Amino acid sequence: MSVSTLYALVGTALFSLGLVGLISYSHLIRKILAANIMASGVFLTLVALSYVSRETSADPVPHAMVLTGLVVAVSATALALALVRRVRGMTGSPRLPEDESD
């Protein structure tokens, strides 16, 4: 097993772990952290898959996509945290209110 394959598998595991956390937790800050773990898994997988062999250099396009994705992820995290702060101010809890119309 090559190093890039190992990194791709770890990235896939991180994505899966983040997806489980995103689905299972109701606390909004934990959901944001799970989404960031998912993004880290995607970034790691993209960088790992950009290496073809040791003789050739890595493809620069996935690296540029990861750098752009990092900027977008930081911005999305800041927006999500601001929204969580607003939800907490309105409801008193950093959780989404349950739908009780059933």
Q: What's 52's domain CATH number? A: 1.10.287.3510
> Does residue 2 register a pLDDT over 80?
yes
* Domain count of the fold of the chain: 1
Question: Are the CB atoms for 87 and 28 separated by under 8 Å?
Answer: yes
Distance, in Å, from the CA atom of 20 to the CA atom of 50, rounded to the nearest integer, reads 26
51, part of any domain: yes
Asked whether residue 80 is assigned to any structural domain, the reply reads: yes
pLDDT 10s digits, 36-90? 999 999 999 999 888 877 777 778 888 899 999 999 999 999 999 999 999 999 8
Number of residues written out for the chain: 102
CA 28: distance to chain centroid? 14
86: containing domain: 3-91
- Does 98 reside within a domain? no
